Chains A and B, each alone.
Chain A
Amino acid sequence: SAVISQKPSRDICQRGTSLTIQCQVDSQVTMMFWYRQQPGQSLTLIATANQGSEATYESGFVIDKFPISRPNLTFSTLTVSNMSPEDSSIYLCSVEQGLSYEQYFGPGTRLTVT
């Protein structure tokens, strides 16, 4: 199974600032996904990050607010820009691996915006 790490694991940020979250995978993967889990809620897909192309955003999420980079097949970043308290959530990256179609999640980044 893929081993995924995220940095930072948690952060407390002031409104109006930005935070960049890193996601590192121990093997090369084509697609990486970014999800948000608001407190007490389920997970919602933010965007799909493919290496060498622009990220594809889901309805309700825009590039200006959540810019994503995917410089290679093992790494991606998600930036949460101009943060407000409503952005307080857990942000998780995931990857799909192999012919088994398993999808693995990173440990998450717990963001609190004050």
Chain B
Amino acid sequence: ELKVEQNPLFLSMQEGKNYTIYCNYSTTSDRLYWYRQDPGKSLESLFVLLSNGAVKQEGRLMASLDTKARLSTLHITAAVHDLSATYFCAGTYNQGGKLIFGQGTELSVKP
């Protein structure tokens, strides 16, 4: 059974700083997803990582996948207040589209 764990669960950052959110998963995952959720809103798709070594970047966010270590990271560069949100990673299994979510990382970027 696939289990997904994120850390940290809460992250308070200063603007301009860099930080990384970690996503570990317990068994083989076909794909690894990252989502953003603003308070009271639905999930916004950030990245889908399909293979070992995959790296994707969008603005100040960069996601990577190491399938051997069963680890994905979401790196935040020079954080700005607009990045404040909850970030979820999710894995899939059995070649299906069922997503197993991590606990979420609540990110707060302060001036």
Q: Which of B98, B103, B104 has the most CB of A within 10 A?
A: B98
Q: Could you tell me the distance between the alpha carbons of A105 and B48 in the complex, rounded to whole angstroms? A: 14
CA–CA, A58 to B101, complex, Å?
Answer: 14
Q: How far is the CA of A43 from the CA of B104 in the complex (A)?
A: 9
| Most chain A C-beta atoms within 10 Å of own C-beta, residue among B31, B42, B48 | B42
B45 contacts A92, CB within 8 Å? no
Q: Range of interface residues on chain A?
A: 20 to 34
- The interface stretch among A11-19, A60-68, A79-87, A95-103 is A95-103
Q: Separation in Å of the A55 CB from the closest CB of chain B?
A: 12
**Contact flags B42-84 to A (C-beta < 8 A → 1, else 0):** 1101001010000000000000000000000000000000000
Closest to A59 in B: B1
Q: Closest approach, in angstroms, between the C-beta of A88 and any C-beta of chain B?
A: 15
Flag if A43 contacts B48 (CB, 8 Å): no
B5-41 CB contacts (< 8 Å) to partner A: 31, 33, 35, 41
User: In the complex, what residues of A have CB within 8 A of residue B104's CB?
Assistant: 42
Asked whether A43 lies within 8 Å of B96 as measured between CB atoms, the reply is no
- Interface residues in B, total, Cβ within 8 A: 20
A33 lies within 8 A of chain B by Cβ: yes
Interface residues, chain B, with chain A CB atoms under 8 Å away:
31, 33, 35, 41-43, 45, 48, 50, 88, 90, 96-104
Apart from A94-B99, A100-B48, A108-B42, 14 more pairs, CB < 8 Å = A31-B96, A31-B97, A33-B97, A42-B88, A42-B104, A44-B101, A45-B98, A48-B97, A48-B98, A92-B43, A96-B97, A102-B45, A104-B45, A105-B43
A-B residue pairs, 7 tightest by C-beta: A96-B97, A105-B43, A42-B101, A43-B101, A107-B42, A108-B42, A105-B42
